[in-house]
Amino acid sequence: MATIKEVAKRTGMSPTTVSRVINNHPYVDDKKRRIVLEAMDELGYVPNSSARRLRGQKTNTIAVIISRIVNPFFSHLVDAMELIAGEKGYQLILCDSRLDKERELRHLELLKAKQVDGVILASLQNDWETIKPFTKYGPIVMCNEYDRRAELPMIRCNQYEGGYIGTKHLIEKGHTNIAYAGGANRIELTYDRWKGFMKAMDEHGLTIPDEWMFPSFYGIEDGKNIFHRIYAMQNGPTAIFAGGDEVAAGIIQEAKRFHCRVPDDLAVVGYDDQPLASLIDPGITTINQPTKLMGTRAMEIMVDMIKNQRKVTFKEEILPLELVIRQST
């Protein structure tokens, strides 16, 4: 309610001096400083954020675009980011693209309107060509998702390795008929995963028929559907590489319901190492992603770019992935 003017009037000083006190500026007489502080307290004065934004040309706000907050992978990612943002004095605007191009773009517009100081992009429904124009409005950092053509800081995992180690594990377990539900190849992240998958297959002279490839599946229900499609096959696969633990969980749960034994009849590799991976029975063999570290680094880099006004200091941080073996393989 109270403004800087009122504090000034009440203390008989100028708004300038009051402002200096607010901002811990030196060169303010100690006695005056105390008087101003007291008046601020009495009036319950708090500097108006909108005015500071306009004047200072910064918002102390960062937008985080993710694709599905109810996916534990993203809630953990956001959790890490929120913690760092808070420590550094930034607010976090949560933007859910809901796997939708238009929504993602609309959220990116926040940068144009100077509604945020920067955007962390952890969703990538659009191509780089579409995203690129936004880079001139402010800093963008990619997190988890990436694109080879992008010249932005990218904090991400080695998805090629993820595809490779998961598949190799299945092959070492004796499987030669392996299905793949690791995501659409349109997206770089999942394309690399696919390449890792194929690398392991190639090394052992294995191939995969088209019908065993399931693109664009995300949730538990999707996993159930995949199981049914496999279950209906004459000579189906004996193992499947799933692109997420939720998909893997759906497959496993439905398999159990239909008395298909996991891993004996169907081995399953998940991805993410979410809490549920160790909770369900059999536990899901999966690829652990350093989610917390990714979120932390992305936010740290974002804040660094804002504070030091760095121009696209293009750099990529590629974090290692790890195979966690449980009972589903």
Partner DNA sequence: CTGAAAGCGCTTACAG
Q: φ, ψ for residue 96 (rounded to 5)?
A: -105, 120
* Cis geometry, peptide bond prior to residue 282 (ω within 30 degrees of 0): yes
Checking 146-154 for CB contacts under 8 A at 24+ apart, the result is 146/188, 146/189, 146/316, 147/188, 148/188, 151/312, 151/314, 152/312, 152/314, 153/298, 153/301, 153/305, 153/312, 153/313, 153/314, 153/315, 153/316, 153/317, 154/315, 154/316, 154/317
Contacts with DNA in 102-161 (CB under 7 A)?
A: none
User: Is 295:319 a contact under the CB 8 Å cutoff?
Assistant: no
Residues 309, 311, 315, 316, CA torsion sign: positive
Q: How far apart are CA 299 and CA 324, in angstroms?
A: 27
* Contact call for residue 186 and DNA (CB under 7 A): no
Contacts with DNA in 49-78 (CB under 7 A)?
A: 50-52, 54-57
**20, 76, 169, 175: which one contacts its own copies (CB under 8 A)?**
76
Q: How far apart are CA 166 and CA 269, in angstroms?
A: 7
What tokens were used for 13?
């000083």
Query: Residue 10 binds which entry of DNA, its own copies, none, with Cβ cut-offs from 5 to 8 Å by kind?
Result: none
Query: Residue 13 binds which entry of its own copies, DNA, none, with Cβ cut-offs from 5 to 8 Å by kind?
Result: DNA
Query: Residue 232 binds which entry of its own copies, DNA, none, with Cβ cut-offs from 5 to 8 Å by kind?
Result: none
Reported as type and span, the H/E element at residue 266 is: none
* Contact call for residue 13 and DNA (CB under 7 A): yes
Contacts with DNA in 245-274 (CB under 7 A)?
A: none
Query: Residue 3 binds which entry of DNA, its own copies, none, with Cβ cut-offs from 5 to 8 Å by kind?
Result: DNA
β-strand partners of 157: 319
* Contact call for residue 5 and its own copies (CB under 8 A): no
* Contact call for residue 16 and its own copies (CB under 8 A): no
Instruction: State which amino acid sits at residue 140.
Output: I
For residues 137 and 231, which CB has a smaller minimum distance to DNA in the complex?
A: 137
**24, 27, 259, 308: which one contacts DNA (CB under 7 A)?**
27
Helices (H) and strands (E) in the chain, counts: 13, 11
Query: Residue 27 binds which entry of DNA, its own copies, none, with Cβ cut-offs from 5 to 8 Å by kind?
Result: DNA
* Contact call for residue 32 and DNA (CB under 7 A): yes
Buried b (16+ CB within 10 A) or exposed e, 59-71: bbbbbbbbbbeeb
Looking at 22-30, 73-81, 233-241, 309-317, which segment touches DNA (CB under 7 A)? 22-30
Interface with its own copies (CB under 8 A):
1, 44, 46-51, 53-54, 57, 59, 61, 69-70, 72, 75-76, 78-79, 82-83, 86, 91-96, 98, 103, 109-110, 112-115, 137, 220, 246, 249, 253, 256, 275-276, 278-281
Interface with DNA (CB under 7 A):
3-5, 13-17, 19-20, 22-23, 26-29, 32, 45, 47-48, 50-52, 54-57
